[in-house]
Amino acid sequence: MQHSLGPDFVESDTFAFERRLMAQGRKVVAGVDEAGRGPLAGPVVAACVVLPLACDFAIFRDSKQLSAIARARLRDELLRIGARVGIGIVPAAEIDRLNILQASLFAMKKAMEALPVTPDFLLVDGKFPVPVAVAQQPLVKGDSRSASISAASIVAKVTRDELMEEFHHRFPQYNFRKHKGYPTAEHRQAIRTHGPCPIHRRSFKGVAEFFGQGHE
């Protein structure tokens, strides 16, 4: 159920969307974002976050603007302050079955459903609504406009990086620890040398060629 918030708010106030919605009577406003749409390997991971009202919203920024250490500290801070967090993970095989857009939205759906509380409004990063019967507003570049989405982007990225670290130990020949499955020159060369492993996305160009499939 897509909803219009009306005119944009002052961009420097990253809790303006949430505050406006709560003033309209929404009691539980969550932000949702994903990490891992572009890699050739590994899952897409989404997070859904409800921030406590008594927190410093300004510290939560787009995860892409933060170092790995800063992201990990902020994820820990979210847990410390009692933010409510849900995580959704869709593995490579499911990405191949659904396509990456649908898999990303499915991960967001799973993240929302994993929340310990049911939100009555979702702020969604990107252009597309999540396939759930909850009022929501997609926000282009939402991870830099909404603190709740920013927090979700941080949790999603840290969670996915931790998963890729685990995969690094299982498949060290690809050096997933370094590139997290993204299509770097090193990763592409490792695929050429060793062939794909079970967490590679068979439908993606750079991997599909080894299976005679179409390209993503």
CATH of the domain at 53: 3.30.420.10
Instruction: Give domain status of residue 5, yes or no.
Output: no
- Write down the pLDDT at residue 7: 42
pLDDT category at 2 given cuts 50, 70, 90 is low
pTM (two decimals): 0.91
Check if the beta carbon of residue 155 is closer than 8 Å to that of residue 75.
yes
The tens digit of pLDDT for each residue in 51-85 reads 999 899 989 987 888 999 999 999 999 999 999 99
pLDDT category at 212 given cuts 50, 70, 90 is low
**Would you say the C-alpha torsion 75, 80, 86, 89 has a positive or negative sign?**
positive
> Count H helices, E strands: the chain?
7, 5
Instruction: Give domain status of residue 11, yes or no.
Output: no
Instruction: Give domain status of residue 3, yes or no.
Output: no
> Does an H or E element contain 95, and which?
helix 92-98
Q: Distance between CA atoms of 215 and 202, rounded to whole angstroms?
A: 9
Average pLDDT value over all residues in the chain:
92
> Does an H or E element contain 161, and which?
helix 147-170
pLDDT category at 13 given cuts 50, 70, 90 is confident
Instruction: Give domain status of residue 216, yes or no.
Output: no
Neighbours of 57 (CB within 10 A): 18
**CB-neighbour burial class of residue 116 (10 A; exposed 0-12, middle 13-18, buried 19+):** exposed
The tens digit of pLDDT for each residue in 130-189 reads 999 999 999 999 999 999 999 999 999 999 999 999 999 999 999 999 999 999 999 999
Residue 9 scores a pLDDT above 50: no
Residue 216 scores a pLDDT above 80: no
Instruction: Give domain status of residue 214, yes or no.
Output: no
Instruction: Give domain status of residue 6, yes or no.
Output: no
Q: Which domain holds residue 100?
A: 16-209
Instruction: Give domain status of residue 157, yes or no.
Output: yes
The count of domains in the chain is 1
Residue 46 scores a pLDDT above 90: yes
Instruction: Give domain status of residue 155, yes or no.
Output: yes
